[in-house]
Structure 1
């Protein structure tokens, strides 16, 4: 018999029966016979036949296909060591970072990525010995590291709430603060604005979502919060006008 016993985004604890039948068990779950149980305290996510639980706390746990932000922490002979906020260090190999043929005996890899650089990458592989392989090919900003801006961290399980359904929440913050924002599924968020005060406001909004992600009416409150702060900045002469935007509320808080 094929059956799911929980609802998407439902909060579960270790040992909760999630489903039975020919489902695939993903992160945060284990299988016993034909039944799947939760191994962590977290939120249920159902994607087709895949069932997983996103932990509410703890470090980011990698999954192949995730888009993440990372910081270069070491430059080696043929690869870079990258911190992505996971329990284990990730690796970006030369062949996964550039289309060019690189002579490793003659090329200083620091000219491509150096220690401290922030990159936007995809998790290409993650195996049972905790080896995490990244790739930047095909990703935005493939040509180099992210320049300027600030890096903010939030709880990885709250990333869907920050994005919002159809991108509603993150687009609201971007448009009202006139900033560029990249959200990694590892909970790292890069924010860059031409105006320092608007950049700070965008960061404040992101951290507010992290704190209040469990509450209802957050999108409407966020719009009100940003509008009030923007009016104050206008009165101070920091900005010329307050942007006007109409956004639909997102009470479900799920990214599409």
Structure 2
């Protein structure tokens, strides 16, 4: 859905909004094209909120409502962090924080054949992709991208995984750059994998860096992007 405004509704961006709130009046806006994401609907020249959350904005001119949930609702194409809970002959059953366990076929790997089936112990953390998410059925996962390549998918070794809200996960994956990760990355070397199901994995050369990155991410969840950047910069200055 597209509409044409002239000015960004800065008074609503990064603020809590609720169903029925009017956040844009297109009759007073011209000259730019915007895109409306989830949580917003258009009725004539009025853009209103459909679900509670924070109004977010990203260039070029995209608006959506970001909601945080503890329980994840699987969606095809989502990258998630799953924990192996059971291994069977044809599938691994994986916990992805959804309403039901997901299954990962033993052949859903690059070059997967019966001769090279991976062996994952219970508790193994995997970075996987949701490929099927039909109502009333267990979601299906894959350790390959759309081209059948392993890409970044597979087991995540060492490091530390912590649970978060789905809103925090989407913030960390926000485009073009998440202020927290961008600011931390300028001073500290670390690896991170973020699942849209509200799980985050962090790894670094020392446990102290892992703890620093994880705690910083969790402590800045409720802040606006500008506040996040300031908080992280202040924290890094104190550590120096």
2:180 maps to: 169
- Determine if contact 1:122/1:134 at 8 Å carries over to the other structure: yes
1:61 maps to: 73
2:99 maps to: 87
- TM-score between both structures, scaled by the size of structure 2: 0.71
Following TM superposition, by how much is the alpha carbon of 1:124 offset from its aligned partner in structure 2, in angstroms? 1.1
Taking a change above 3 Å as real, the CA distance of residues 37 and 76 of structure 1, as seen in their structure-2 partners, is: farther
Following TM superposition, by how much is the alpha carbon of 1:188 offset from its aligned partner in structure 2, in angstroms? 0.8
**Unaligned stretches of 5+ residues in structure 2:** 25-35
Whole-angstrom CA distance in 2 between matches of 1:114 and 1:131: 21
- Determine if contact 2:82/2:96 at 8 Å carries over to the other structure: yes
Whole-angstrom CA distance in 1 between matches of 2:203 and 2:71: 25
Note the aligned Cα RMSD (angstroms).
3.8
Give the secondary structure class of the aligned counterpart of 2:84: strand
Taking a change above 3 Å as real, the CA distance of residues 152 and 163 of structure 1, as seen in their structure-2 partners, is: same
Give the total of aligned pairs.
216
Taking a change above 3 Å as real, the CA distance of residues 199 and 151 of structure 1, as seen in their structure-2 partners, is: same
2:226 is the counterpart of 1:219: no
Whole-angstrom CA distance in 2 between matches of 1:129 and 1:46: 34
Following TM superposition, by how much is the alpha carbon of 1:18 offset from its aligned partner in structure 2, in angstroms? 9.0
2:198 is the counterpart of 1:187: yes
Following TM superposition, by how much is the alpha carbon of 1:190 offset from its aligned partner in structure 2, in angstroms? 0.6
Alignment of 1:47-126 (within 5 A): 53-102=65-114, 111-126=118-133
Whole-angstrom CA distance in 2 between matches of 1:130 and 1:11: 34
Give the secondary structure class of the aligned counterpart of 1:122: strand
- TM-score between both structures, scaled by the size of structure 1: 0.67
2:28 maps to: none
Which sits farther off after the overlay, 38-47 or 130-139? 38-47
- Determine if contact 2:106/2:112 at 8 Å carries over to the other structure: no
Following TM superposition, by how much is the alpha carbon of 1:114 offset from its aligned partner in structure 2, in angstroms? 2.2
1:196 maps to: 207
Following TM superposition, by how much is the alpha carbon of 1:184 offset from its aligned partner in structure 2, in angstroms? 1.4
2:105 is the counterpart of 1:131: no
